[in-house]
Amino acid sequence: MFLLLVFFICFILIVAPFIFIRLISSKSNEENGNYLLVIAHPDDECLFFSPILLSLHSNKYVLCLSNGYNHRLDELRRSCMQLGVKDFKIIDDQINLKDDQSVLWSSDTILGHVKQSIRQWNISTIISFDYYGVSGHKNHSSIYYALLNLPHMNQIHFLSLQSTPIYRKYLTLIELFRIYLKKESRSRRTFVLPVKYSLTPHKAMLEHRSQLIWFRYLYLLFSHYIWINDFVLVY
């Protein structure tokens, strides 16, 4: 009986999303132009933003504001290749952009790098975290607060990834049902991982070999951010 219960739970949490995702498609309204994903650390792109990166048909670029350690640059490059990212850059600034979950980053420093990337890649839409940054990580939320101060140059839009309570974070099947039933609006956009890329986020994360601690594997199995991205159009 115990083994049957374990099997049932694993089916609901892991296998069922693979099946149910075939019944729904991304309800997003993709805008024309180039997209810039602004992240705090290498591996943020696949852990949190895989559904939107693999759903967009436009050119996608990644700006990573810290490198952790130098070897992570190559890990990020390989992950971006898996996710169809056209180009990326990684910043090494241990003074203003220190990799530390308790440190708020300088808004001016963030905006300087973002503006440079906008000009370099002719960006029309920026993607990043919301005020909570998924996990309460201050490096993540620093990006959101900095982007609120970005001058509205050339009609640039900002999509912020919506953080969810922990009781929803790991109930992927329920989240998929919610997406299936909800109505799309102009200010809220949802991206569901395309069926043909069902295992691509996992492949991308496996490129970050230095970060493959045991709980990352659990995250890849259970987190709904692997399957679903909910965004709010901030501007």
Domain ranges of the chain: 31-233
More confident residue, 45 or 25: 45
53-73 pLDDT per residue, tens: 999 999 999 999 998 666 788
Question: How high is the pLDDT of residue 18?
Answer: 55
165-218 pLDDT per residue, tens: 887 777 666 666 666 556 666 778 889 899 889 899 999 999 999 888 888 998
**Confidence at 151, pLDDT banded by 50, 70, 90:** confident
> Lowest mean pLDDT: which of 80-94, 127-141, 186-200?
186-200
What's the rounded mean pLDDT across residues 136-144? 96
Residue 100's contacts (CB-CB under 8 Å, 6 or more residues apart) are 138, 139
> Smallest Cα–Cα separation from 58: which of 76, 88, 90, 36?
36
- CATH no. of 31-233: 3.40.50.10320
Can you list the positions of beta strands (E) in the chain? 34-39, 60-64, 87-90, 123-129, 157-161, 188-192, 228-233
Total-model pTM: 0.86
Residue 130: is its pLDDT beyond 70? yes
